[in-house]
Structure 1
Amino acid sequence: MLRKSPRNAVAIGDAENDHELLRLAEVGIAVEWGSARLRAEADVVIAGEGPTAVGHFIRQIATTGRLPVPARARRRLILGHTDDDREFALAVRGRNVLIAGETKSGKSWLAGLVCERLILHGYSLCVIGPEGDYRSLDALPGVRVLGGDDDPPSPRALLHALRYSDRSVVIDLSCVDHHVKLEYIRSILPTLNVMRRRMGTPHRIVIDEGHYFLRDVVADQLLDLDFNGYTVVTYRPSQLPMEFVAVTEVILLTRESDRQELDALRRQCSACEHVPASDWDALPHLRIDQAVALPVTEEVGPHLQTFTIGPRLTPHVRHRQKYVDVPVPASRAFVFRGDGRTTTACAHTLREFVAALDNREVAHADGHLRRGDFSRWIADVFGDHALARDLQGHEHRYVQSGSGDALTQIANAIRSRYELTDDGDVASTRS
């Protein structure tokens, strides 16, 4: 009723009827002189005897303003599985997280998965997405997207949107110029810091394309590193402030073939000094559905831990605004070959491509369908391998059965993926 977050709550109990109370709270605490079963399930046990010991414990928490950190975490983010079929999961704590990897390697997908898991555990997030990659999170309860076709939210509007602790906000900056994004993010970070200090929410701030926006934020005191709880996504970790990387406790990498970036991470990650070079050599060859956790991550041993990334509940719409209407270079445009009955046409954008499919007879695209030209263009030019696999399926069915609906099915798959439909429905496929 108070609309306060259980994720900010400490619960203290002494008897069997307190089990549910301790489970609800972020940190469940039992007293040493109470139920043995409750002590066994508690995150923390207060030593001593009677109300005096409890009062002393409460005063300690009130003085620091921090929740105690249990030795074992009850809430875990299941992100996938290792090669030997063990779950790979991260304990939920106020740790800084860095997710890095080269372009089109799946790092935004992985970041979206982390966001999903946190939201479903009841944590409040503020996700800043410069390219609109996180819009589909609004399918989850309590998530609202601001920005996009509208102006980015003012500090007052953001405060209003996050006024309840069970709410999360995705700020979509895909429709504003780069310099506007930079100025906006630098202006909104202090507001979020004040909100977290006063209200305890949002629990986590997620910033994509961090190399563009965070280069000097530590020097300018725009990040509250005493409070932590940041997730930064980037393909240029070497351009992040060294002070931030130094206090980052979880580092996840998708495919990375840039040796300079790998060398920078090895230098910045003190726990990586003893990782053999052969482990690093595997990073350029990771599949699109694989990632690696560096040894700085508590859940990982002395070596790099490779895992297969798990499925998501919400789709990931790749750079929606960037690819729908922004033309690719002429050398990478799709050329619809004429066959004597139709003229040669070129598509420089996805919207042009879909329009051309709508206006073409399937018989006039027979060669493209049999060669797999449509799926190959999507994979090679846009790096959207999940959509390419869908299109391959339509092309294969055409070759097998001569389906007259092949072009319509391909066009509809692209419409759904990149929100070309009027109702904004998106397909639950992965990039």
Structure 2
Amino acid sequence: MIWKALACDYDGTIASNDRIGAEALAALRAARAAGLRLILVTGRTFFELLRVCETIDLFDAVVAENGGVLYFPARGVLRDHAPPPPPRLLAELDARGIPFQVGRVIVGTWRAEEARVRDTLRTLGMRMAIAYNRAAVMLLPPGISKGDGVRQAVRALGLAHHDVLALGDAENDLDLFAACGWTGCPVNAVPELKDRADFIFPGENGSGVARAIAGPILGNLLPVARSPRHRLAIGWVAETAEPVEIPERGVNVLIQGDPLSGKSWLAGVLIERLLGRRYAVCVVDPEGDYQVLAPVPGVSWFETRSLQTWDHALERFDHDPAACVVLDLSTLEQERKAALIAAGFGLIRERRRRAGPPHWLVLDEAHYWLGKDGVPDGALGVEDKGLCLVTYCASRLRPSVLAAVDVFLLARTAAAAQLDCLREVLARVPADTADLAAVLPGLPMGEFLLLRTEPAGPRTRTFTAAPRMTSHVRHLGKYADGRLPEARRFFFRAPDGRLVATAGSLGEFFQGVGIVGDDVLAFHAARGDFSRWLLEVFADRELGRYLAKLEGRWNRRELHDLRGALERLLGGAIKRAGEARHALRGV
């Protein structure tokens, strides 16, 4: 269940004929027992609410008088967020024979008196806001609304608004809906509210809402991923400019693609778009690929070498429930990364279940950590949703992880083993997966194939990724044919130190990889010479990182054809650099 709190309107929502009935009361107590916080929201005056609501202590926070008064029963704290009604106004209403009720902040009367009330305000030269609640009308100080009161209550309880489900029925609940991430109402709610609701429940008033809480809400049966209000645009269809969207909540995402296919770019798009919608994101970055996000507002980057640092970094969500935390594990050895990720995921899952944030967890190089002997399902929490797994080797993910994926974002993939894996996994998607082998190997960098298992929207489409706030600019002019001074060239040497060949450009380096002996390649890969040279000479962090990963795979004996892997990686980089230069000349 993604919600941590219910924000419930009183009259017509959980209460009927002034009182919370036995059925609604039992449902609210069941919600508390399930760990949900309860926020009572009403336009009634605080004194009137105390008279009719005998179970006010059941709630963690009370927003009364249409947001003008906040009450926290457990602490006995009562706060007025506006001054009391002006005595001149009360005297004039009384003199005109207008019936009214006075609260700590608001004045309430009937809708039939609206014209006379407005005339009274004009006569007094007084400016007050007017809010409607079915047959009632309320006079409020400017700036006071249910929405503002709920936002303050949510912050005081340490919650994120994305984790709050609002339940209302009348016009003055529109502000309540705007303050919460999710919205629901009974079928007899006013039309304006039903137009803004994510979920409409059968039944009326307290009994209908009670059955909704006890049934689909606590049973985690609401179709969260199908809500049209909660879609995240990650790109567009090139031919039509139509936006391509995925659900913001309630799904797990897999991003699969070859090295330098654009999958890291797409992961960055997803992260930045989630931050733009104020979702909390935790990025587990084993190779240091996401440090580029550090300058983005709201992002906190941590060099993470211990579980204590990991736990300390997660405390950032206590202070900002819309933060992004990047856990950089790149300075650790592979075995220590695996142990830390396994332990850290347990901390994240416990935090998500207790408090909500982080709403999304992004794991790069997922195939290393989620194989047969990787992070166990119990710590991973695939059923909690909000996982984004990034990999170039989906075939190494265990079946239980692949079965939990709802949205597949596929970049260029050429390896037969990966295509076979995807074809098998996607057999459950009602789409023609037989064409994967024809489509994926030829996808240009920056284009992706979307496939999803949930039925909201088109299930299969090719799209171009959206732009990013953070980007990597390659030094195109230095690539294939730019000549380097002798001191900056690459010197291919045999294990005994004997010079075999030199490379004064990336093109010559590519040629050298193809002609030197296997022992020469193994010698340099073991020392990390290839990636170090690319980073020092060309300052190409992206290609350098991919080369470092390739060297690491060779040294861990995960790669059997070092020459072929180097040629594919370098050949693709040279080709793309040449295409980019050609495009620039044509501008």
Whether TM exceeds 0.5 here: the answer is yes
Aligned to 1:20: 175
Q: Is the 1:218–1:244 Cα contact (8 Å) retained in structure 2?
A: no
Alignment match, 1:128? 284
Structural mapping, 1:8-407, within 5 Å: 8-60=163-215, 63-64=218-219, 69=224, 71-82=226-237, 83-147=239-303, 154-164=309-319, 165-215=321-371, 216-217=373-374, 219=376, 221-272=378-429, 275=432, 277-296=434-453, 298-299=455-456, 301=458, 304-316=460-472, 330=492, 334-335=503-504, 349-350=533-534, 352-353=536-537, 381=570, 388=577, 392=581
Q: 1:242 to 1:36 in 2, by over 3 A?
A: same
Paired residue total: 357
2:37 is aligned to: none
Give the letter for the 1:210 counterpart: A
Q: Decide whether the 8 Å contact of 1:8 with 1:67 is kept in 2.
A: no
CA RMSD, aligned part only?
3.6
CA 1:48 to 1:329, structure 2 compared with 1: closer, same or farther past 3 Å? Answer: farther
Shift of 1:263: 0.8
Give the drift of 1:353. Answer: 1.7
Whole-angstrom distance in 1 between the partners of 2:251 and 2:177: 22
Q: CA offset at residue 64 of structure 1?
A: 4.1
Deviation track 1:43-97 (CA, whole Å, cap 9, x = no partner) reads: 1123222223333433447744787627433122111111332111112122111
Structure 2 unmatched runs, 5+: 1-154, 475-488, 494-500, 507-528, 540-567
Is the Cα–Cα contact under 8 Å of residues 44 and 70 in structure 1 kept in the other structure?
no
> Given residue 240 of structure 1, which amino acid in structure 2 is its aligned partner?
L
8 Å CA contact retained: 1:119, 1:125: yes
Q: CA–CA distance in 2 between the matches of 1:388 and 1:248?
A: 34
Bigger relative contact order (CA 8 A; separation at least 6): 1
SS at match of 2:185: strand
Deviations 1:155-208 (A, max 9, x none): 431332222322220111122222221121111011111111111121111100
State whether residues 366 and 397 of structure 2, in contact with CA within 8 Å, keep that contact through their aligned partners in structure 1.
yes
Q: Secondary structure at the match of 1:251?
A: strand
Query: Structure 1: 5+ residue runs without aligned partners?
Result: 319-326, 338-345, 356-378, 398-431
Give percent identity, aligned residues only. Answer: 31
Q: Give the conservation status (yes or no) of the 8 Å contact 2:168–2:184.
A: yes
Q: TM-score, normalised by structure 1?
A: 0.72
1:320-376: CA deviations, max 9, x gaps?
A: xxxxxxx98839974279xxxxxxxx9961454269xxxxxxxxxxxxxxxxxxxxx
Q: Secondary structure at the match of 2:384?
A: coil
Q: Is the 8 A contact 1:33 1:49 kept in 2?
A: yes
- In 1, distance between residues paired with 2:581 and 2:324? 37
**C-alpha contact (below 8 Å) 1:253/1:292 kept by paired residues:** yes
Question: Which one has the largest radius of gyration?
Answer: 2
1:269, distance to aligned residue in structure 2 (A): 1.8
Distance 1:48 1:297 in 2: 28
Q: How far did 1:271 drift?
A: 2.9
Tell whether the 8 Å contact from 1:124 to 1:168 is kept in structure 2 after alignment.
Answer: yes
Cα 1:264–1:20 shift into 2, 3 Å: same
